[in-house]
Chain A
């Protein structure tokens, strides 16, 4: 890979670039933004212990394993 910057704008890009675009989008919409259900961020000695993840775990969900398996199946 040369020093050339690769600009990924999401239309007609390689699979990798599309995935990067998707992952960046997911990072934003899933990990940030306004939260109504009482998010609590507590820092101890400058380390943020963010508990929003527990929000998601407390609801009824399939395991991460199943999600990964499905994703693998889709990419085959």
Chain B
């Protein structure tokens, strides 16, 4: 019998009782070392990615968020109690540090869509081109377009960070997205300052009517849970 893990908390807080999670199974608390895990029994080897299961997972975490700030686990984490113990042994310090970092905070997200036509940066050449050259010309246009887009995404990210920076504790903005999504930002904000954050985003929105905003929250710190716990290395070769 495996355990589906929802989140990790410091054991000092009172957690909500009679929570139901994946497949309607009762969620229970598992204390290991200095941490408490919220888990539920799961009989199969893999978890179906259904609306119900995903929402159940999120709902458990959201219930905990009311009492304290947990570190959420990714949906579908199936482990044995022993594997959890190994995990705690290996990551104790990093997990403690993460919990401290997120204490008293929640996460807010902003996603931005831009409809700008990036390939207009380099208009198509009207002259007759042989297939190979035309192919490369088009490639060049695409590359220039995506470079322009990436540059703009970076500028918008920096601008947005400038707008909200003083009310957040930590930020994580992704600009290397596909489609019309220009950027997806996550911010770790102290609970008392969330209203200020919303106001700042509303103000930012007014400044850029050409951009389409989506603001969502409050979430548990999904985007800030795994930082420093992954093997992250930067190879600075350009």
Are A and B bound to each other?
A: yes
Mark A residues whose CB is within 8 Å of B: 22, 24-26, 28-48, 52, 59-61, 67
Q: Do B176 and A48 have beta carbons less than 8 Å apart?
A: yes
12 additional contacts (CB under 8 A) given A30-B75, A32-B226, A60-B46 = A22-B54, A22-B55, A28-B72, A29-B54, A29-B72, A33-B71, A34-B8, A36-B73, A36-B87, A39-B230, A42-B233, A45-B238
Asked if B232 lies at the interface with its beta carbon under 8 angstroms from chain A, I say yes
Against A, the Cβ 8 Å flags (1 = close, 0 = not) of B208-238 are 0000000010010011011001111111111
Q: Indicate which residue in A28, A30, A40, A47 contacts B230 across the interface (CB closer than 8 Å).
A: A40
Complex contact B55–A42 (CB within 8 A): no
Q: Check if A26 sits within 8 Å of B54, measured CB to CB.
A: yes
Are B234 and A34 closer than 8 Å at their CB atoms?
no
Q: For residue B54, which residues in chain A have a CB less than 8 angstroms away from its CB?
A: 22, 25-26, 29-30
- Of all chain A residues, the one with the shortest Cβ separation from B216 is A24
Interface bin, chain B: 35 or more
Could you say which residues of chain A place their CB within 8 Å of the CB of B84? 36
User: What are 10 sample pairs from A and B whose C-beta atoms fall under 8 A apart?
Assistant: A28-B222, A32-B72, A33-B71, A35-B226, A36-B79, A36-B83, A42-B233, A46-B234, A47-B176, A48-B176
Residues of A within 8 A of B5 (CB): 36
Neighbouring A residues of B225 by C-beta, 8 Å? 32-34
The 9 closest A-B pairs by CB, nearest first: A32-B222, A33-B74, A29-B75, A33-B72, A41-B232, A28-B222, A45-B238, A34-B73, A34-B225
